[in-house]
Amino acid sequence: MKRSWNFNPGPAALPLEVLERAKEAFVEYGDQGLSLLEMSHRSKTVERIVEETERLLLELIGLPTGYRVLFMGGGASAQFALVPMNFLLPGTTARYLVSGSFAEKAYKEAKAVGQSEVLASGKAEGWRRLPDLRQVEIAPDTAYVHMTTNNTIEGSQFRDFPDTGEIPLIGDMTSDILSRRLNWTKFSLIYAAAQKNLGPAGVTAVIVKDELLKAGNANIPAIFQYRTYAEHGSLYNTPPVHAIYMMKLTLEWTARQGGIPELEKRNERKIGHLYEAIDAGDGFYRGIVEKPYRSAMNATWRMPDEALEKQFVLEAEREGFIGLAGHRSVGGLRASAYNAVPEEACKALADFMNDFRRRCG
């Protein structure tokens, strides 16, 4: 089988060795006589997988004790609602850094739950730049500050994070978790749907500080409370066991690559090939996001007209490059170079882009 170069934004590329390992265990896990898809989530086998996956994730990001990892369903979209349901209490205001489409969706969900405000926004500039964190002032009645660290659709990424003091900082890191070194302790809660750098779609990892867990709203249904998942080791209800197992394999692969420091270096080289091709040659390709705010995960660009963009996508697919059409809400082109996308793929795409510009520019 000749595999395509997968630049899909999510579900996204998975490491080949992870897929092969999962294939080996698909019909029968270990010597259990059945697959994980059939196994009880109350079994010791599943309990161990969940515990090991939590340990691996905390070790990779280097968080100290005092944090828990929860495995939940519903993707990041569920977290948009669960965060305010748990932490937006009467007499407080949730404040959001609105830097792209998903950040805006998170804000709108919070408004449906309680008092919420935009702390800063990049919408007026068409998402071409990120809100200036130097202008941010956080009022003392703030329940939490929420930010999306990487904007998958628009192709922008925060390099710095606000100092919120005692006020919890909550981050949607769905599209850049494990891709770069961060001061993780700035955040009281991080969530990431798995279908980018953590594994396949179907499970969301929530990394939450113990102190914040204790402060959560106890007057909502148990199934919506983070503390419920913590108290039951993510086994309160039937979890997506196979997706968690795939996350475990992906985390083990991440560790074998040298962990986050090595992947960060690799990601900088990979995305560098693409931005070099975008910036070459008289504006034939035009980066959508201003250079200081560009993402290392999702490169976005436009071309002289939509007809050329469609031609580019069709020719790219014939050459084995998959997933390059921009999001339907913004159009243009996008290449998502998550951890599992090899540097070879980015070099090959850059070569194709340069050739296409010479032929059609």
pLDDT of residue 105: 98
Instruction: Identify the architecture of domain 259-360 in CATH.
Output: Alpha-Beta Complex (3.90)
pLDDT of residue 64: 76
Say how far apart CA 243 and CA 249 lie, in whole Å. Answer: 10
pLDDT of residue 281: 77
| Exposure of 188 in the CB half-sphere (CA atoms within 13 A) | 23
Say how far apart CA 117 and CA 115 lie, in whole Å. Answer: 7
Say how far apart CA 58 and CA 64 lie, in whole Å. Answer: 8
* CATH class belonging to 16-256: alpha beta
Q: Where are the alpha helices (DSSP H) in the chain?
A: 16-24, 44-61, 75-87, 101-113, 210-214, 226-231, 241-256, 259-279, 306-318, 343-360
- Residue for token digits 């949607």? 172
pLDDT of residue 82: 98
* 3-state SS track over 203-252: CEEEEEEHHHHHCCCCCCCHHHCHHHHHHCCCCCCCCCHHHHHHHHHHHH
Say how far apart CA 341 and CA 4 lie, in whole Å. Answer: 11
Domain pair 16-256 / 259-360, same fold: no
Nearest 5 degrees, angle CA 123-CA 188-CA 339?
A: 70
Say how far apart CA 302 and CA 284 lie, in whole Å. Answer: 8
pLDDT of residue 114: 98
Say how far apart CA 98 and CA 115 lie, in whole Å. Answer: 16
Say how far apart CA 185 and CA 62 lie, in whole Å. Answer: 10
Say how far apart CA 30 and CA 16 lie, in whole Å. Answer: 20
- Find out whether the peptide bond into 11 is cis, omega within 30 degrees of 0: yes
Say how far apart CA 217 and CA 246 lie, in whole Å. Answer: 32
- Residue for token digits 């520019």? 361
Give the tokens for residue 241.
Answer: 């066991």
Instruction: Please report, for the chain, the start and end positions of each structural domain, with discontinuous segments joined by +.
Output: 16-256, 259-360
Say how far apart CA 301 and CA 184 lie, in whole Å. Answer: 30
Say how far apart CA 39 and CA 248 lie, in whole Å. Answer: 17
pLDDT of residue 135: 80
The pTM for the full model equals 0.97
Taking only the tens of pLDDT, the chain with its 361 residues reads: 789 999 999 999 999 999 999 999 999 998 899 999 999 999 999 999 999 999 999 999 999 789 999 999 999 999 999 999 999 999 999 999 999 999 999 999 999 999 999 999 999 999 999 999 888 899 999 999 999 999 999 999 999 999 999 999 999 999 999 999 999 999 999 999 999 999 999 999 999 999 999 999 999 999 999 999 999 999 999 999 999 999 999 999 999 999 999 999 999 999 999 999 999 978 999 999 999 999 999 999 999 999 999 999 999 999 999 999 999 888 999 999 999 999 999 999 999 999 999 999 8
